[in-house]
Structure 1
Amino acid sequence: MPATGGTPGDGAPAFGAPGDGTATADGWPAPLDPAAAPAPRYGTGSLADLLPSIAAGLGVPGFVPALAGVEPADRACVFLIDGLGWEQLLAHPEDAPFLHSLATGEPLTAGFPATTATSLASVGTGLPPGAHGLPGYAVLDPGTGELMNQLRWQPWTAPRAWQPYPTVFQLAHDAGVHTAQVSSPAFESTPLTTIALSGGTFHGRLSGEERMDVAAAQLAAADRALVYTYYSEVDGNGHRHGVDSDAWRGQLGYADRLARRLAEQLPPRAALYVTADHGMVDVPGTDDARYDVDEDWELRAGVRLLGGEGRARHVYAVPGAAGDVLAVWREVLGERAWVVGREEAVALGWFGPKVEERVRDRLGDVIVAAADDIAIVATRTEPKESALVGMHGSLTPAEQLVPLISVRS
C-alpha cells in the first residue's frame, strides 16, 4: 500500500508534523511555516488515485495503477464510510473489530481540504481538487461574486460547467464494465452525484444492510464490475456529538458490521476497498479554541467573503486588502494554523500538482488550515456550522489520513 508523507520533494516532513513554533520579537507566537505543512500525496497515495488504480486493474483504457495496494481484479467495490479517519479507526479496536483487524497497511491522504464535497469529487473523477474544481465546502463563484456551497449546491450552478470532466465510473461504463452506485435514494439526482459519482446505474436503498446486499449482487452481475456504496452517519454523529462519543462509537460499530456483511458476500475474483473521505477532530467549545470572525474586528477587517469551513478557510479580501488580511490572520492565529496566500498554497501543492485557470479564482486570497484543535467560526452567518463539535478540513493527520482496507475473494 502507498506510503504517506508531507510536502512533495526531498526533505519533506513526516505527515502531520507542524514544525517548531518560535516567538516573534514582540513576544507573539511566530506563524507556522507553511512549507512545513504536510501536503496530500497526490499521484502516489491520495484518494484521487484510488479509482484510477482500480480502473487500470479492470482494463479500462487510459488508466495506470498508482497505488501499490490495489491489485487487478475482475470485480471491484469501493465502500466509502463518511468521516472514518485512519487515526479514529486505530483508536477504537473494540468498536470496529473487523476493520481494525485488516488495518495493517498504510493509509491514504484525503486531499485538501479534507471535506466531503472535495473528497467525493476526487474519488469519482480520479483528479485532485485543482483539476476537478471543488476546492472546499463553500468557495467563490467568480461568475457571480457569491459563495457557492458545493455540498448543498447552493446557489444553483450548472453542474457540468462547474466540473466538466467525466467520472471514472462513466469511463468504465463506456469501456464495457458493469458499473453501479448503491446509496441513499436522496442522492440519486443531486448535482454532486452528477459530477462526481455518475455512470452506469444508480440503486437507491435506505438501510445499510440493503446497500451491502445490493452492492454484492451488482458485483456478481457481470464478469467485470465496478461498484460504489456509501454510508454517512459516522460523520453525522461525529459532527453532532464528537468523535469518541457513545453515538459516534455506535455508528462506527454499525459501519464495521456493514463492511463485514459485504465482505462475506463477495463473488469470485472480487476486491472490496473500504475507505473514507476525511477524518475528524473535536474542537472545544471555549472562546480560546473558536475564533469568531463575526465578533473579531481584526479578523473581519478587509474581508469581503468568508468561505470554506471552520478548519479550512478560504478568505476573500476586498480589492487591495489581500496582503493586509494575510498579515493580520497570520499574527492572530500564530502557531495554531498554517496561513498562506493563494499563490503560495498553489505552489505548495495543497490542491494538487496543478491548479487549472478556471479553478484558481475560486480559491481564497488567503487560505487557512488549522494545525491546533481550533476552528475559525462565524456564529451569526454560519450558526449551525459554528455549533458543531466534530470538524474537519485541514492538513492534520486526524483529518487527512483515511483507510485503504482491502478484502479479496
Structure 2
Amino acid sequence: MSLMLPSESPSARSVVGVAGDLFAALRGESDVLPRAESVVLVVIDGLGAISLRAHAGHARSLTGGMTKRDVAQSVFPSTTAAALTSIVTGVWPGEHGLVGYRVLDPSRDVLVNQLSGWESDGLDPLVWQPAPTIFEQAAARGHSSFAVGIAAYARSGFTRATLRGAEFVAAATPAERVETAYELAQRHPGSLVYCYLPEVDKAGHKHGIDSSEWLAALETIDAALSIRVPTGVGVVVTSDHGMVDVPASRQVVLEEEHLTGIRHVGGEPRMLHAYLAPDADHGAVLSRWRDDLDGVADVVTRDEAIARGFFGPTVTGAASSRIGDMLAVARGTWALYDGTAADQRGRGMVGQHGALTPEERQVPLIRFGAFAR
C-alpha cells in the first residue's frame, strides 16, 4: 500500500512555537514579533485557515489584513487534546504525551479520554501531562498570567493539565471573553493572557463547516475580535486545528471481522489508535487493515509513525506507550468507526478532524494590536 502522507517544509511555522514567541515578545527577545507591554493569545477552537479564507466575507475582522504568511501548521493528530496542549506548553505531543483523543493507559490496560475524562478515568493532570506550561514558565520569571474561558472549564482536569500557572477568569460570551482578556492585559503590564473561544468547533461538529450555524458562530467570533486592542498590547489569534465535513456515505464501520486480533480501538474517527491483543499476529493484522482500508486510510505502525516524526522530533517512553500498535489515518473526507463500541454517538458528528489534510492542519496565525504588521 502506497502511503499518501504529506511532507512539509522544515521552515513551516508550527503552533508549537506560538506561546514561546509571545513570551519572548514580552522581553523584547522574539525574532518574529515586536516587543509588547502585555500579550494575548486567542485560540479559536476548530477554525482552519482554509475554511476561514473560504468564508472571508463572514469574518472581515479576521481576514481583512490576512496574508499568505499568516498561517501555521497544527500538530498530529490534529485534535484538541494534542494541539491545545502543544500550544500552551511549546512541546510536541511526543513530549507532553497527549497523543490523541482516547488513548491507552498501559498501566491499567484501559482507554482514557484525554479531553473530558480526567476525573472519570482517574488521570492525574500533573503526572499524565508533565511538561511545564507557558504560564508556569511566565510565573517563574515574574510575569502574571490569566486564562479566560467558559466557567464550566475552570476546574476540569484538562484545564489543570494545560493551564496550570494561570489564574482562570470566567466569561460567558465570546465578546465578553475577548473584552476581559484585553482588559486584563491592559491592567497588568507584563502579563500573558490566554483567551479560549470554542464556539466554531462546537458548531462544526454538530452542523458542519458549510452550515448556517457554523457561519453564525464564525460571525460571532469575528465581531468579538473587532474591538480595539489597548495600546501596547500584542495579540495573536490562532487555532488548534481545522476540520472537514464527513458525509454519511464516507463513514466506514469496522465490525468484528475487521477487529480480529485488536483489543482496543482508541483515537477518533479520522485517526484511530489500534491496540493489538498480546497473542495477535501483528504482521497479519497490519496487512489485513491495509487491504481493508485501501484508499480510505493510511495504516502505519507505531514505530513507523515515530520514525517519520508524526508526534514530533522526540517521543518519550510514556508517550510511546500510549500510541497504538497501528494508526489508521483517514484520507480525504473519510471517517472510521468501531461498530462494536457501546457508544456510537460520534457517528452523528458532521465536522471532524484528527488526520493530516491541509484543511485540518493549516490554522490561522493572525496579529493584532502591537503585533500588527
- The residue number in structure 1 matching 2:287 is 327
**Which deviates more, 169-178 or 310-319?**
169-178
Check the 8 A contact 1:40/1:109 in 2, yes or no. Answer: no
Q: Report deviation, 1:323.
A: 2.1
CA contact (8 A) 2:230 2:369 kept: no
Q: 2-side partners of 1:103 and 1:326: how far apart?
A: 43
What's the CA shift for 1:59? 2.7
CA deviation map 1:138-164 (0-9, x unaligned):
000011100010011241211111011
Q: Which residue of 2 aligns with 1:195?
A: 161
Given residue 290 of structure 2, which amino acid in structure 1 is its aligned partner? Answer: R
The match for 2:91 is 127
Residues 72 and 296 (structure 1 numbering): CA distance in 2 closer, same or farther, change over 3 Å?
A: farther
1:138 paired to 2:102: yes
Deviation (angstroms), 1:321: 2.9
1:358 paired residue among 304, 311, 318:
318
- 1:388 corresponds to 2:352: no
Cα distance change on mapping 1:40 and 1:249 into 2, 3 Å: farther
Question: Which one of the candidate residues 313, 321, 341 is aligned to 2:272?
Answer: 313
Matched with 2:43 is: 80
> CA offset at residue 405 of structure 1?
0.3
Q: Which position in structure 2 is the counterpart of 1:215?
A: 181
- Sort the Cα spacing of 1:272 and 1:317 in 2 relative to 1 into closer, same or farther, 3 A: same
- Normalising to structure 2: TM-score of the pair? 0.93
Task: Give matches, 1:226-245, under 5 Å.
Answer: 226-245=192-211
What percent identity do the matched residue pairs reach? 35
Give the counterpart of 1:402 among 358, 363, 369.
363
SS in 2 for 1:403: strand
Runs of 4 or more above 4 Å deviation: none
Q: Distance in 2 between matches of 1:346 and 1:40?
A: 18
Is 1:258 the counterpart of 2:224? The answer is yes
Equivalent position of 1:178 in the other structure: 144
CA RMSD of aligned residues (A): 1.8
Contact map agreement 1:166 1:195 (CA 8 A) in 2: no
TM-score scaled to structure 1, two decimals? 0.85
Q: Secondary structure at the match of 1:103?
A: coil
1:119-145 CA-to-partner distances (Å, cap 9, x unmatched) read 111111111000000000000001110
Q: Aligned partners of 1:279 and 1:321: how far apart in 2?
A: 36
Judged with a 3 Å threshold, the aligned counterparts in structure 2 of structure 1 residues 37 and 296 are, in CA distance, closer, same or farther, namely farther
Indicate whether 1:152 and 2:111 are aligned: no
Q: Are the aligned partners of 1:140 and 1:362 in contact in 2 as well (CA < 8 Å)?
A: yes
Aligned residue-pair number: 365
**Displacement of 1:352:** 0.2
Q: Do the aligned residues in 2 keep the contact of 1:40 with 1:350 (CA within 8 Å)?
A: no
- Confirm whether residue 51 of structure 1 aligns to residue 19 of structure 2: yes
